[in-house]
Amino acid sequence: MLSLCYDSSMKKYYEAYDQRYQIIHEKGHSWSSDTPTPIVYDVMQKYNLSSSSILQIGCGEGRDALYLLKKGYGVTASDISAEAINYCKLQNPDYCDHFIILNCINDEHEYRYDFIYSVAVIHMLVNDNDMISFCRFIHDHLNANGGFTYLFHGRWCKRISK
Ligand SMILES: C[S@@+](CC[C@H](N)C(=O)[O-])C[C@H]1O[C@@H](n2cnc3c(N)ncnc32)[C@H](O)[C@@H]1O
């Protein structure tokens, strides 16, 4: 049996990206490409979300949110990493109000959405309690009949309705 020692003062695995972004941005580079994930836009069209309120969890450097924002979708793009959100705001001043720092595991967030999506985030939630908190956050921040979709390492996508 695998037993893990966990010290609550240690950073969580899912917080690790902040430092990665800082290091790469200091060098004048970006961490990811700016190519959007095709299935995200496909899902927006399939479920006719053009006039919906949409939350992205873990937007990183903003490639998917920006693509949707430029197409007129009402996206709020969030990430736990202050570095990532500052980068998104600096790179896209026209949309800076759409990018917010938010930890979907612990933070309070006052708004509800018609649709929530995330791309390549849940593999970082290695602790069962974190995964449960993530699911609870989704549930608590969807409007009635809202939907959630996630992309897990680029392989598959699922829609869950509230
Ligand atoms: C692998 S990156 C993917 C970034 C972006 N979705 C993309 O596909 O380019 C995972 C992102 O999830 C963010 N993240 C991890 N845990 C989070 C949490 N609890 N709340 C919000 N964002 C989180 C990280 O900071 C990081 O930006």
Rounded to whole angstroms, the Cα distance separating 56 from 120 reads 11
Average pLDDT of the chain to the nearest whole number: 90
> Minimal CA–CA distance to 59: which of 138, 116, 125, 130?
116
pLDDT of residue 13: 83
Q: Which is the closest atom of ligand 1 to the Cα of 21?
A: 27
pLDDT tens digits for range 85-105 = 999 999 999 999 999 999 999
pLDDT tens digits for range 41-89 = 999 999 999 999 999 999 999 999 999 999 999 999 999 999 999 999 9
> What is the percent of the chain where pLDDT is above 70?
88
The residue whose CA has the least distance to atom 9 of ligand 1 is 60
Please tell me the distance between residue 60's alpha carbon and the centre of ligand 1 in angstroms.
Answer: 5
The structural domains of the chain, ordered by start, are: 37-161 (3.40.50.150)
| Ordered DSSP codes for 120-156 | S-GGG--SHHHHHHHHHHHHHTEEEEEEEEEEETTTE
Q: Is the pLDDT assigned to residue 156 strictly greater than 80? A: no
Please tell me the distance between residue 16's alpha carbon and the centre of ligand 1 in angstroms.
Answer: 9
Please tell me the distance between residue 159's alpha carbon and the centre of ligand 1 in angstroms.
Answer: 19
pLDDT band per the 50, 70, 90 thresholds, residue 152: confident
Q: Is the pLDDT assigned to residue 6 strictly greater than 70? A: no
pTM as predicted: 0.91
The residue that leads in pLDDT, 11 or 150, is 150
The residue whose CA has the least distance to atom 8 of ligand 1 is 119
Please tell me the distance between residue 120's alpha carbon and the centre of ligand 1 in angstroms.
Answer: 7
